[in-house]
A and B are shown apart, each in its own frame.
Chain A
Amino acid sequence: MIRFDRVSKRYPNGRDALREVSLQVEPGEFVFLTGRSGAGKSSILKLVGLLERPTRGTVTVNGQDTASLPARAIPAYRRRLGMVFQDHQLLMDRPVYDNVALPLVVADAPFRDIDKRVRAALDQVGLLEQVRALPSELSVGEQQRVGIARAVVGKPVVLIADEPTGNLDRGLALDVMRLFRRFQEVGVTVVVATHDLSLVEEFGQRSIHIDDGKVSA
């Protein structure tokens, strides 16, 4: 499903974020990426989301070598992924409904499907009553759940989340993780980057530890 083969990433400022990283995530698996801030977890997710390209090595997602994807094919590739971020990346001037519907709108989905799937996604994250609310009217935890609803509304095969619980208290963080677990149970491959080791221990999933741009044993 996701395979990194001797992947290195050097940013324009000269920082080596990843050095010869090789890892594999199987279809339907739930994997934590752990490590301190700046270890390279986010870079791995960015490479999966094609927000960055590797400097060396091969990243394969769903059997597709991402290096062979032309720029015009990237939007369609991203529509098959769900991405969740610590800062939510919501459109603050649009209601919850519009935020969650965005991946379906950009995919030119029919209107009937959009309405059905947006309501289903919001129901899954427990925000069906907030469809008309603006993100600024919601709590941080609710905003994160809007971000998750948006990530899963397009029925992605892979869900990647970068520090999704970073701004949440313990209770909300556990709620979010349970949500991810539910998506994994229906066949979605979930990769969560976090520095919160207690969360990893509590959920007991496989974890890949990243240290200074390398996979550590």
Chain B
Amino acid sequence: MISPATWTTRHLQALVAALGRLLRRPLGALLTTLVIAVALALPAGLWLLVQNARSATGDLATAVQVSAFLKVGTSVERAQELATTVRGQPGIATVTLITAEQGLKEFRERSDFGKALDALESNPLPHTLVIQPTTVQRDAAALERLRGTLAGWPEVEIVQADTEWAQRLAALLAVLRTLFLASAVLFGLGVLAVIGNTTRVEIAARLPEIAVTKLVGGSDAFIRRPFLYSGLFQGLLGGLLAVGLLAALLAALEAPVARLVSLYGGQFRLAGLAGEETLVLVLAGTLLGLVGAWVGAARQIARISPQP
């Protein structure tokens, strides 16, 4: 039975041997690591794109809303009663009443038509109910039902449920999410293939050494160990490099995006990977490296038979 100290030392030896071999062929190791980093950075970048697009366009919960414009002449009291009635409906999150006076005041403040508005004899704006459905009521059919209900009330002039753009955006984000998942799987397979092939090439280069090791009683697990560490280490480095590549990309995009956002008067700022996302990316690289090396090493080492 092997002692824990010997076991630990053997693994440390295998780790150091794997690192040594990587350092002895720095260019090859660097290129492999770079390929892994790019393969990891692409889906991670797509993930950031989705997250930032969601952030930039605001939460879809606030984007999907229904406006009911009441007929001019409807009293504020009646408008308040209608607002209360709507609040009592199922699937309604919030109802905000914007009275004609509030609407005019806002319009005056936000536009340059102050003097023109002063010339008006009466306020042409209607009272407006701004209704936000709950999450479950946000699908097209539910919104259509709500629109129909409101439009049937005699005090309501027009119901505007301009949700098409939000739905299109949601659909686009869903496409991007699917694209992210597909690319994560594809590039993950790519990382497996790269590390698996690198491991196979390395094993082929060390056939005589492996044969001798088997000859003196080395098990497949013993022979495999440094290759697994090599794959694990390259995956780890690839993950870290992918984080660096994404950070560099975001840094390069920050100023142009800020300029674009300022032109639209927005407050949006590009967000990078969160702490746990960074951890997941690095762990994914490490795991893929380990599995890739295993796939590349296991069968090939098992097939090598020592021949004196």
Contact = CB atoms under 8 A, between A and B. Distances in A.
Contacts of A106: 213, 216-219, 222
B6 interface: yes
Give the most central of B215, B217, B220: most A CB within 10 Å. Answer: B217
A113 to B, nearest CB: 10
A111 B9 contact: yes
Contact of B3 (A49, A103, A110): A110
A71 B304 CA distance: 12
6 contacts: A51-B305, A51-B307, A79-B216, A89-B308, A106-B222, A162-B308
A20 B217 CA distance: 28
Given A75-B219, A78-B216, A106-B217, 11 more contacts: A46-B308, A51-B215, A51-B305, A78-B214, A89-B211, A90-B212, A105-B10, A106-B218, A106-B219, A108-B10, A154-B217
A100 B308 CA distance: 17
Interface in A39-66: 42, 46, 49, 51
Contacts of A32: none
Main secondary structure of the interface of B (DSSP, over half): helix
Nearest to B305: A51
Contacts of B216: 78-79, 83, 102-103, 106, 150, 154
B306 interface: yes
Given A87-B308, A89-B308, A90-B212, A110 B217 contact: no
A83 B306 CA distance: 12
Top 3 A-B residue pairs of the complex, sorted by shortest distance between their CB atoms = A79-B217, A106-B218, A78-B217
Chain B interface residue count: which class?
20 to 34
A33 B302 CA distance: 31
Interface residues of A, number: 29
A12 to B, nearest CB: 13
A75 B308 contact: no
Contacts of A75: 214, 217-220, 222
Interface of A: 42, 46, 49, 51, 71-72, 75-79, 83, 85, 87, 89-91, 102-103, 105-111, 150, 154, 162
A109 B1 CA distance: 10
Nearest to B211: A89
Contact of B212 (A77, A91, A110): A91
B107 interface: no
A100 to B, nearest CB: 10
B222 A83 contact: no
Contacts of A107: 217
A78 B306 CA distance: 11
A103 B218 CA distance: 7
Contacts of B208: 91
